């Protein structure tokens, strides 16, 4: 039976890499996001990809998403709105922090609430946390706290929603468009400096994270776990 996979954030970065890999493996893939133009480009570039415009920070849109999508085997969320959230505390815009919480914590929570009932036997939910929960830095308090909270949510939902499996992948520094919010014009310099520090000698690629999520979807004996894919960042 062909797997049916919903990827929130599937139009760019790690989510798009996962969508491409799943389509190549013969799965039915639906990419969800807020940016219609970006979804259209992804649909044009990835034959067979279904796209849906929805904002996972709005409960009514999440509920409507699952009413119209039918049965699923896996739900994945790689989306995050962290624009303005990487700031020193005196400069932090609380509205930006609230948007980050809504997209990276409350959004996944609502995906689980409304998505779990449509998952088939053997189904899974996979979220995306991140290295900031383990290696926090100045300007990163909001994202560090959200990632840590999301991992707590994963463990709790793995118990509450069993036998649905709930996991998270925790990426390190990965070369994706999100870096324009984190580093701006210093992006290339920062990524190159981190590559020199990491034991693997490079920063991550979207395909690295897609491969890890594929494992979590496919391994029926893994739940409540956080899979670290960060090139040894926690060791340095």
- Residues tagged active-site: 129
Neighbour-count burial for 108-138, b at 16+ CB within 10 Å, e otherwise: bbbbbebbbebbeeebbbbbbbbbbbbeeee
214: left (phi over 0), alpha (psi -120 to 50) or beta: alpha
Alpha-carbon span 146 to 170, nearest angstrom: 12
What is the DSSP secondary structure assignment for residue 227, as one 8-state letter?
Answer: E
Beta strands in 98-158 (DSSP E): 119-128
Alpha-carbon span 126 to 156, nearest angstrom: 13
Sign of the alpha-carbon torsion through 118, 149, 56, 50? negative
């Amino acid at each position: 039976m062909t797997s049916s996979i919903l990827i929130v954030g599937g139009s760019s970065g790690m989510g798009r890499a996962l969508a491409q890999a799943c389509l190549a493996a013969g799965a039915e893939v639906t990419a969800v996001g807020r940016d219609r133009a970006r979804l259209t480009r992804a649909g044009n570039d990835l034959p067979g990809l279904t796209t849906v415009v929805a904002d996972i920070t709005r409960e009514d849109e999440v509920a409507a998403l699952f009413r119209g999508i039918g049965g699923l085997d896996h739900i994945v969320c790689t989306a995050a709105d962290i624009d303005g959230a990487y700031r020193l505390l005196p400069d932090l815009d609380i509205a930006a922090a609230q948007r980050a919480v809504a997209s990276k914590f409350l959004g996944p929570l609502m995906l689980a609430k409304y998505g779990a009932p449509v998952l088939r036997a053997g189904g899974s939910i996979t979220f995306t946390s991140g290295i900031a929960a383990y290696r926090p830095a100045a300007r990163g308090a909001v994202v560090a706290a959200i990632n840590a909270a999301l991992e707590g949510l994963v463990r709790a939902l793995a118990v509450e929603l069993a036998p649905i499996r709930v996991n998270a992948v925790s990426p390190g520094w990965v070369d994706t468009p999100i870096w324009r919010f984190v580093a701006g014009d210093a992006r290339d310099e920062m990524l190159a400096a981190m590559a020199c520090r990491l034991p693997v000698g490079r920063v991550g690629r979207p395909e690295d994270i897609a491969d890890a999520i594929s494992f979590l979807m496919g391994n029926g004996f893994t739940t409540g776990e956080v899979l670290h894919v960060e090139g040894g960042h926690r060791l340095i």
